[in-house]
Structure 1
């Protein structure tokens, strides 16, 4: 038998878990989830533009895209957030915590997702381009109507994984004062000193969110597989 203090959670701890749950859920609904969705959408736009620049054949665009991807992928996300939120005020550019988080995460998603999209585009056989040109399409029409729809199907699984990872990465926003799920856990823990209990509770909520997203991802991939097989 385990000692009583290890076998069961005390009534006070249970009450703390219940009372903190609503606060953490509010943090998730007001900040964690919106931050994830907004930055992923902006990041995808950046990713597409960067991927197209990388394969454009225009040297200046290729180098700008390469430098952007290399700089973002070669530095820690936390450092990037600190530069935007804490560093820029030193040069008289002040950005609020939530907008700073949006900028930081969007740039990060854009760099990583651009490689996914670029690889997906390059995976489309050249014959698809040639077929499009043979029926009178120009480059942009072939890209928009023929290549990108096929590239989307290829990139859905890795982009879905990026989205799920982004949910977890948003916990770093708590370090630049965004009142997200993890920030709420930190605030409650700092007053109750129940760090282990509250951090485990926060981890459980992240797990539940990611589990739901994983189920959605599987269903989405199943639909794409059925569509491709037809």
Structure 2
């Protein structure tokens, strides 16, 4: 009996033996973690940072997607000034490494934001109606989220821009002829078609942010990487600790990748109906 067929990224009907191998490895490692006291202890410590990693990733991605969509719409605006601002933002932010941006937002941007907030609210502060804001009021976790938002918004803006430009101009002109407003054209005609082009690279950016969220550990944010780093520095069990850290990230990223592929297949089937 022939092996069942399954579509992979290349579109060929190859059976996903790579997935079978990954599942076998993942189950085997899970068995080792459960049966080995050292690995079990490390996993318990590292797992405590999972909630922070998920929160930082989700909040950063939602904010980055929102900002990226706004930048993309500016880049496609009829006003030259808005297009120039969008291009300036995109080129500058894409040219700065995420780690450098993380330090800059955490130790330069946040203090600057506090100074600006206190300047704007100076009358209220002098009247005694509110207390001045201090830098420590902005947690390191939210500084990290802000850095991820800014860093990824430039890449996501280009994803949205390419997806919107992929829609046939004739359909946009037809929507105009029907009397649809700019918002209605975007919501009813442009975005439903553009999402097919946008979804795969947007999903890749989400998976990349899961991995880049580990950079927040340099600020002491208690994510998966930070919890592992603290444990390893105290126990000197570097092999066990970073093996578990890598295992957890792989489970997260591969699980997300499979989920996104499933969503893409559903969208393709829906188009064919």
Same fold at TM > 0.5: yes
Alpha-carbon distance in structure 1 between the residues aligned to 2:167 and 2:222: 43
Question: Which sections of structure 1, spanning at least 5 residues, go unmatched?
Answer: 1-13
Distance apart, 1:34 and its partner CA = 1.1
* 8 Å Cα contact 2:42-2:240 kept in structure 1: no
The alignment status of 1:198 with 2:219, answered yes or no, reads: no
Alpha-carbon distance in structure 2 between the residues aligned to 1:126 and 1:89: 43
Q: Alpha carbons of 1:148 and 1:197: their partners in 2 closer, same or farther (altered >3 Å)? A: same
The alignment status of 1:211 with 2:254, answered yes or no, reads: yes
The alignment status of 1:48 with 2:91, answered yes or no, reads: no
Deviates more, 1:219-228 or 1:59-68: 59-68
The alignment of Structure 1 onto Structure 2 pairs a total of residues equal to: 218
Alpha-carbon distance in structure 2 between the residues aligned to 1:91 and 1:109: 21
Alpha-carbon distance in structure 2 between the residues aligned to 1:135 and 1:151: 20
Q: Alpha carbons of 1:90 and 1:137: their partners in 2 closer, same or farther (altered >3 Å)? A: closer
Query: Which position in structure 1 is the counterpart of 2:100?
Result: 79
Deviation beyond 6 Å, 4+ runs, structure 1: none
Distance apart, 1:195 and its partner CA = 1.6
> Which structure: larger Rg?
2
Query: Which position in structure 2 is the counterpart of 1:174?
Result: 217
Query: Which position in structure 2 is the counterpart of 1:185?
Result: 228
- 1:69-96 deviation line (CA, Å, top 9, x unaligned): 1111001000011011123466584232
Q: Alpha carbons of 1:91 and 1:160: their partners in 2 closer, same or farther (altered >3 Å)? A: closer
Q: Secondary structure at the match of 2:49?
A: helix
The alignment status of 1:158 with 2:196, answered yes or no, reads: no
Alpha-carbon distance in structure 2 between the residues aligned to 1:90 and 1:162: 29
Alpha-carbon distance in structure 2 between the residues aligned to 1:200 and 1:72: 33
Query: Which position in structure 2 is the counterpart of 1:27?
Result: 49
The alignment status of 1:140 with 2:183, answered yes or no, reads: yes
Q: Alpha carbons of 1:186 and 1:90: their partners in 2 closer, same or farther (altered >3 Å)? A: same
In terms of fraction of residues, the more helix-rich structure is 1
Distance apart, 1:145 and its partner CA = 1.3
Query: Which position in structure 1 is the counterpart of 2:86?
Result: 65
Please provide the CA RMSD for this pair: 1.8
Q: Alpha carbons of 1:144 and 1:92: their partners in 2 closer, same or farther (altered >3 Å)? A: closer
Q: Out of 145, 148, 153, which is 1:105 matched to?
A: 148
Q: Alpha carbons of 1:219 and 1:66: their partners in 2 closer, same or farther (altered >3 Å)? A: same
Alpha-carbon distance in structure 2 between the residues aligned to 1:157 and 1:142: 23
Which runs of structure 2 are paired with 1:1-12 in the superposition (5 Å)?
none
TM-score normalised according to structure 2 size: 0.76
Deviates more, 1:190-199 or 1:124-133: 190-199
Distance apart, 1:175 and its partner CA = 0.5
TM-score normalised according to structure 1 size: 0.90
* 8 Å Cα contact 2:110-2:143 kept in structure 1: no
Alpha-carbon distance in structure 1 between the residues aligned to 2:192 and 2:110: 42
